[in-house]
């Protein structure tokens, strides 16, 4: 087997670049470049700071999992909503469309899908995802694939309700 001069030069360059960087013990995100002898700091992911609810209100948290990104993605402008369901009708036959004036919009950490709804009043709600294509899709509980309904009682005031993982589609 004969190796061309170009292949050999590329191979030596790669090895040379690899050898010129060594990991500095201590902080896992800091390296030192031997060629310049200068430390290089790599940014680490800082925690996302969510708002908190006012007293006597409810906070709802969770994490959205997108099972098939080729089918639908949430709107990049935080497309997770809590839509009020009318309890007077008895059985739920449909989920109303999002009313941007009155329905709650989640604050979302786009890096991992964590979301928080703050200052929620007791009542029956559905979590609805506004997709990039403008579709309004009910979220489902990842564990049992049921539609993500949230029934908040008066006793839930000043509480944090964790919905765990929700998914679309």
Give the integer Cα–Cα distance in Å for 31 and 40.
5
More confident residue, 159 or 73: 159
Given this model, what pLDDT does residue 17 score? 44
Is residue 74 within 8 Å of 68, Cβ to Cβ? Answer: no
Summarised one tens digit per residue, pLDDT across range 14-57 is 444 444 444 333 434 344 444 555 555 555 667 777 777 789 99
Give Cβ neighbours of residue 16 (< 8 Å, ≥ 6 apart). Answer: none
Residue with tokens 């999002």: 98
Its CATH architecture, for the domain 58-168, is Sandwich (2.60)
Given this model, what pLDDT does residue 44 score? 62
Given this model, what pLDDT does residue 40 score? 52
Given this model, what pLDDT does residue 51 score? 79
Summarised one tens digit per residue, pLDDT across range 84-116 is 998 765 677 788 999 999 999 999 998 889 999
Rounded mean pLDDT, 109-124:
93
Burial state string for 75-105 with b = 16 or more CB within 10 A and e = fewer than 16: beeebbbbbbbeeeeeeeeebeebeeeebbb
Given this model, what pLDDT does residue 72 score? 80
Rounded mean pLDDT, 147-158:
96
Given this model, what pLDDT does residue 90 score? 65
Given this model, what pLDDT does residue 73 score? 81
Give the integer Cα–Cα distance in Å for 49 and 62.
14
Task: Give the domain ranges of the chain.
Answer: 5-41, 58-168
- Residue 104, preceding bond cis, omega within 30 degrees? no
């Amino acid at each position: 087997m004969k190796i061309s001069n170009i292949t050999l030069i590329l191979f030596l360059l790669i090895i040379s670049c690899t050898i010129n960087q060594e990991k500095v013990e201590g902080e896992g995100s800091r390296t030192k470049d031997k060629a310049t002898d200068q430390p290089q700091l790599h940014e680490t992911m800082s925690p996302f700071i969510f708002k908190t609810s006012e007293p006597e209100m409810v906070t709802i948290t969770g994490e959205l999992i997108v099972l098939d990104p080729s089918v639908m993605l949430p709107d990049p402008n935080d497309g997770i909503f809590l839509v009020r369901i009318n309890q007077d009708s008895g059985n739920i036959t449909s989920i109303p469309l999002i009313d941007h004036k009155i329905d709650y919009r989640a604050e979302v950490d786009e890096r991992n899908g964590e979301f928080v709804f703050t200052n929620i009043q007791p009542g029956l709600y559905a979590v609805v995802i506004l997709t990039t294509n403008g579709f309004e899709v009910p979220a489902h509980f990842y564990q049992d694939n049921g539609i993500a309904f949230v029934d908040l009682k008066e006793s839930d005031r000043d509480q944090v309700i964790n919905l765990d993982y929700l998914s679309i589609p």
